[in-house]
Structure 1
Amino acid sequence: MDVHIRGKNVGITDRFESYVGTKSEKVAGLLPKAQKFEVRVSRMSDRSPQNGDVVEITLIGPGPVIRAESAGGDKYTAFDMAYGRVLERIRRMKDRRADRRGRGRTSLGDAASAGFEMVDVTPAPLEVLEAVATGAVPIVAAAAEEEQYSPVVIRSKEFPAERLAIEDAVDQMELVGHDFFLFIEDESGKPSVVYRRKGWNYGVISLTD
């Protein structure tokens, strides 16, 4: 597994490179087929209410990308927190895969007929689906830079659509550490989003024509 470290507005010392290299060995042991362990370190700006560094870790293939980001008083503290999140996501991924092997694959039709109980997915309430389908959910645009400062920042991103089964979408959501994941449901072809509820429970929202 290749280890790459990049710094933005912060120096990367030999000591830090050695520290990261030692930690990455455990990841290589957990995921022998992993190809690249990327670490990006950046210094918080002077305008930030906090001081310190931000570390983003990206673990690449094969399979879904695993990401984690943390901020700390220095790059070692930030790295340790992000590294702990990567290990936790690897553990959750392995637990889910082991559980899935034990009970086999479940079709969307079977899961829906059982209320998604067998796949730890809970369908969204009818009023939520109707609100999304009719456009009743308000969309707030980000304020322009010249407007008055606001602590709320809304960022926009675009990604290529992926056709996935619901369980695979849940896996990808867990690996990138997000609270939701947008995808195209493989069997129905509907735009859908899975989201995290309490514990190991998840919800799914699908759009209809």
Structure 2
Amino acid sequence: MEIVVAGRHTEVPERFRRHVEDKLAKVTQLAPLAQRVDVEVTHENNPKLSDVRERVELTVRAKGPVIRAEAAADDRYGALDLAIDKLVERLRRSRDRRKDHRRSYVLAPVDVRPYDAVKDVEPEPAEPSTSLVADGEAVEHQLGDSPVVIRQKLHSADPLTVDDAIYEMELVGHDFFLFIDKESARPSAVYKRKGWTYGVVQLDQQCEGLLPVSELT
């Protein structure tokens, strides 16, 4: 399993890289088919955020859904421990999921909010008209003379059922997930709500080239 450690606004010493490799040894036990783990270390320079100035993000890539966890603390070693605890919990959930696919959820419509999935590529400043062509590619541009920065990112999207979309949302640790509904062929979003309830929003348009399951049977 390949482990790739990268720093954002910070240098990552060799000692920490070796520590990461040792701590991630348990990943191979829970995810034997994992091909790669991306580790991103971010340093926050704002003194008001000293308690969470070090952030560690872990992303496990294998055949199947991406599994991700992140945490922040006042030092990167503590942040790594917290992130690994979250990652192990999600890896166990994924393993259990493979054993039993029968799960149920309470669904209700909710409002749309922006969603930013797993960070695959460091965004680069770009013009608003820039076209994204590669999976994981990301760009940022400033809105005119205002301080508003808009980030665009491209993700591959295989059609999913609502159940699978909720499952993948939980694995990346977000409260929002965009997907194409396999049943209706519509662009859709699932959300976390209070307790163990979830929401689903769909656009009243079908993705070009896809047919709803009802029309295929």
User: Structure 1 length normalisation: TM-score?
Assistant: 0.71
Structure holding more helix per residue:
1
- Secondary structure at the counterpart of residue 119 of structure 1: coil
1:123–1:86 Cα change, 3 Å: same
Q: Do the aligned residues in 1 keep the contact of 2:107 with 2:200 (CA within 8 Å)?
A: yes
Give the percent of matched residue pairs that are identical in Structure 1 and Structure 2.
42
CA RMSD of aligned residues (A): 2.9
Q: How many residues align?
A: 175
Does the 8 Å contact 2:67/2:90 carry over to 1? yes
The equivalent of 2:154 in structure 1 is 159
- Matching of residue 181 in structure 1 with residue 177 in structure 2: yes
Q: Deviation per CA, 1:2-35: give whole Å up to 9, x if none.
A: 1121223433333322221111110110000001
Contact 2:106 2:198 in 1 (8 A): yes
- Residue of structure 1 equivalent to 2:108: 123
TM-score (ref. length: structure 2) = 0.68
Aligned pairs (5 A) from 1:85-104: 85-100=86-101, 103=102
The aligned amino acid for 1:157 is Q
Distance 1:79 1:146, change over 3 A: farther
CA-CA distance at 1:154 after TM superposition: 7.5
Structure 1 unaligned spans of 5+: 104-117
Q: Does the 8 Å CA contact 1:121/1:204 hold for their aligned counterparts?
A: no
Alpha-carbon distance in 2 for matches of 1:60, 1:187? 26
Q: 1:48 to 1:208 in 2, by over 3 A?
A: farther
Offset at residue 189 of structure 1 (A):
0.6
CA–CA distance in structure 2, aligned partners of residues 170 and 42 of structure 1:
28
Query: Which residue of structure 2 lines up, in the alignment, with residue 80 of structure 1?
Result: 81
Structure 1 residues 204 and 65: alpha-carbon distance in aligned structure 2, compared to 1, 3 A threshold = same
C-alpha separation in 1, matches of 2:67 and 2:161: 19
What residue is the counterpart of 1:30 in the other structure?
30
Task: Assess if the C-alpha contact under 8 Å between 2:193 and 2:199 holds in 1.
Answer: yes
- Note the C-alpha offset of 1:97: 3.4
Cα pair 1:170 1:181 within 8 Å, conserved: yes
| Structure 2 unaligned regions, length at least 5 | 114-140, 206-217
Q: Which has the larger radius of gyration?
A: 1
Q: Distance in 2 between matches of 1:27 and 1:86?
A: 9
